[in-house]
Amino acid sequence: MPPRTLYFVRHAQGEHNAQHDDSIPDAILTSHGKSQCRELSTSFPRHDSVALVVSSPLRRALQTAIHAFAPALHRDGVKVLLQPMAQEMNAFACDVGTDKDELQRQVKAEELWDAGLGVPSEKVDFDLVEESWNSKGKWAPDRATVQKRGAKLRSWLYGLKEEVVVVVSHGGFLHALTEDWNGFNASAEFVFTEKSTHSSAHVVKKATLTPKLSGREEEPHVVKEVEDAGLAGK
């Protein structure tokens, strides 16, 4: 059986969002972004039932996963599984990830999240992260490749055994993942459609959660990514 419930979460405010600067390498969260995570953590109703947190390996997404879902991660067996398919779709510096060895070093040193959260580095699983995960050749930001990646990630999620799964990703790619081209700016609850299969999995939104993260859907960074990938007006 596929997961009963999927929570898709856009990362909180990153430095590139606040400064409107796409040239910041693998941008991290701002202090306001961390505050947004605390708000989401407080309002999220199902920390006690989340079985898996899946995150893009980009640092702002991983930070959001840990800061917002620390209560779930305190439970035995619940981890953050880094999934390169969930990374952002464009090739701006802010969307190109840190090399695996350096990212592992930062995680092991627990440099990316506040010590007071009580989340040990062992909770972050790198099993799916290849050395070349941050090479955009495989993750090209063109329409066909992005849509194919969205479909592939949905199928991968469909094959999970966990019943309640959180996925932390990015404003641009979440359009392709959810097949929702009208805007994605909130944490939202999704379910697989009744006709979904492992080879053709689709999701439908069941509820929108608050608070919203990262600001407005119209922010230039997200709009540019969608347009550059040829997904605008889909």
Q: Strands 5-10 and 187-192: what pairing?
A: antiparallel
**Which residues does 158 contact at the CB level (< 8 Å), separation at least 6?**
2, 3, 192, 196, 197, 198, 201
pTM of the predicted structure, to 2 decimals: 0.91
In order of their start, the domains of the chain are 5-228 (3.40.50.1240)
Give dist(CA 126, CA 122) in Å, integer.
10
Those residues of the chain that have pLDDT short of 50 are 214-217, 223-224, 226, 229, 233-234
Q: What is the pLDDT of residue 223?
A: 47
Q: What is the pLDDT of residue 44?
A: 94
Q: What is the pLDDT of residue 181?
A: 75
